[in-house]
C-alpha cells in the first residue's frame, strides 16, 4: 500500500509539473543564434633592396630612412654614399590589428664562380616600420609586432649591414632573397 501511495504521489506531482510547463499561459518560441566569422585576410607585398657602389673590402650599414632610401654612411670604410634604392613592403589587413612580422634572412651571397662573397648582417636599425607615431626601428632577426593603421596597412623597409669581401669583383651582381612572413596575433 505504501508503494501504491508513493506511485500516486509521484504521478500527481509529475503531472502538475507538466501542466505548469504547458499550460494555457505559457508560450514558447525559438531564438536563433548566428555567428559569421569574417575572413581575416592578410596580404604581404614584395620589397626590394638594391645597393651599388660599395668598394671591395669595405662594410656599409644600410639603415632605411622610411622613404625608400638609406641614411649616409657612418664608418665602415665607405666614404661616399653608395646608390641605395629600397622598395617598401606593404602589409594589408584588418584596420588596427596587431600583426607579428618575421623575416627569413640570408647571411652570405656567393659569387657565381664561388671565389668571393658578400656577407650580410643585421641589427636594431636594419629594419623600420613606418608607423603613425613615426619611424620604429627593429632588428629583423627577431619577430616584431606591428599595428595596422586605420586603413589596414603597415609599411616596412629592410636594410642590412653589407660587408664586401676584398676579392669581390666589381663586374658581378650578388643576388639573394629574404622572405617576410606576417600573421595576426591573438587569433
CA distance 15 to 13: 5
What's the pLDDT score for residue 38?
53
Residue 28 lies inside a defined structural domain of this protein: no
Residue 157 lies inside a defined structural domain of this protein: yes
**Confidence category of residue 50, pLDDT binned at 50, 70, 90:** confident
Residue 21 lies inside a defined structural domain of this protein: no
Task: Please determine, for residue 181, whether its predicted confidence score (pLDDT) is greater than 50.
Answer: yes
Q: Which of 49, 11, 52 is nearest to 159 (CA)?
A: 49
- Structural contact between residues 111 and 76, judged by C-beta atoms closer than 8 angstroms: no
Task: Please determine, for residue 19, whether its predicted confidence score (pLDDT) is greater than 80.
Answer: no
Residue 15 lies inside a defined structural domain of this protein: no
Q: What residues make up the domain containing 55?
A: 43-184
Average pLDDT rounded to a whole number, residues 1-7: 45
Task: Please determine, for residue 56, whether its predicted confidence score (pLDDT) is greater than 90.
Answer: no
Contacts (Cβ under 8 Å, ≥6 apart) of 173? none
Q: Which of 109, 118, 106 is nearest to 165 (CA)?
A: 118
Task: Please determine, for residue 21, whether its predicted confidence score (pLDDT) is greater than 60.
Answer: no
What digits encode the pLDDT tens for the residues 142-160?
Answer: 999 999 999 999 999 998 8
Residue 38 lies inside a defined structural domain of this protein: no
Task: Please determine, for residue 9, whether its predicted confidence score (pLDDT) is greater than 50.
Answer: no
3-state secondary structure of 160: strand
How many domains would you assign to the chain? 1
- Structural contact between residues 184 and 98, judged by C-beta atoms closer than 8 angstroms: yes
**Confidence category of residue 13, pLDDT binned at 50, 70, 90:** very low
Residue 75 lies inside a defined structural domain of this protein: yes
Rounded to two decimals, the pTM is 0.73
What's the pLDDT score for residue 150?
92
Residue with cell 622572405: 179
Residue 34 lies inside a defined structural domain of this protein: no
Sheet containing 134-138: give its strands across: 43-44, 89-92, 153-158, 127-131, 134-138
Residue 83 lies inside a defined structural domain of this protein: yes
Q: What is the CATH number of the domain that holds 88?
A: 2.60.40
Cell of 42: 592578410
Cell of 93: 589587413
What's the pLDDT score for residue 51?
83
Average pLDDT rounded to a whole number, residues 86-99: 90
CA end-to-end span of the chain:
65
**Confidence category of residue 83, pLDDT binned at 50, 70, 90:** confident
What's the pLDDT score for residue 135?
92
**Confidence category of residue 121, pLDDT binned at 50, 70, 90:** very high
- Structural contact between residues 125 and 61, judged by C-beta atoms closer than 8 angstroms: yes
What's the pLDDT score for residue 97?
92
Catalogue the long-range contacts made by 42-46 (C-beta closer than 8 Å, 24 or more residues apart). 42/91, 42/92, 42/93, 42/99, 42/182, 42/183, 42/184, 43/91, 43/92, 43/93, 44/89, 44/90, 44/91, 44/180, 44/181, 44/182, 45/89, 45/90, 45/91, 45/92, 46/87, 46/89
What digits encode the pLDDT tens for the residues 95-113?
Answer: 999 999 999 998 988 877 7
What's the pLDDT score for residue 96?
92
Amino acid at each position: 500500500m505504501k508503494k501504491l501511495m508513493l506511485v500516486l504521489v509521484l504521478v500527481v506531482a509529475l503531472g502538475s509539473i507538466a501542466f505548469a510547463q504547458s499550460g494555457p499561459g505559457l508560450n514558447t518560441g525559438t531564438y536563433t543564434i548566428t555567428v559569421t566569422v569574417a575572413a581575416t585576410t592578410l596580404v604581404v607585398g614584395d620589397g626590394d633592396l638594391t645597393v651599388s657602389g660599395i668598394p671591395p673590402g669595405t662594410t656599409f650599414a644600410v639603415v632605411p630612412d622610411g622613404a625608400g632610401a638609406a641614411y649616409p654612411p657612418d664608418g665602415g670604410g665607405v666614404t661616399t654614399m653608395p646608390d641605395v634604392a629600397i622598395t617598401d613592403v606593404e602589409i594589408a589587413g584588418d584596420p588596427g590589428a596587431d600583426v607579428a612580422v618575421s623575416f627569413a634572412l640570408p647571411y652570405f651571397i656567393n659569387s657565381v664562380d664561388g671565389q668571393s662573397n658578400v656577407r650580410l648582417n643585421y641589427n636594431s636599425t636594419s629594419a623600420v616600420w613606418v608607423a603613425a607615431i613615426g619611424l620604429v626601428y627593429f632588428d629583423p632577426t627577431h619577430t616584431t609586432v606591428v599595428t595596422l593603421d586605420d586603413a589596414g596597412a603597415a609599411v616596412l623597409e629592410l636594410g642590412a649591414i653589407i660587408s664586401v669581401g676584398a676579392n669581390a669583383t666589381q663586374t658581378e651582381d650578388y643576388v639573394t632573397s629574404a622572405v617576410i612572413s606576417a600573421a595576426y596575433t591573438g587569433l
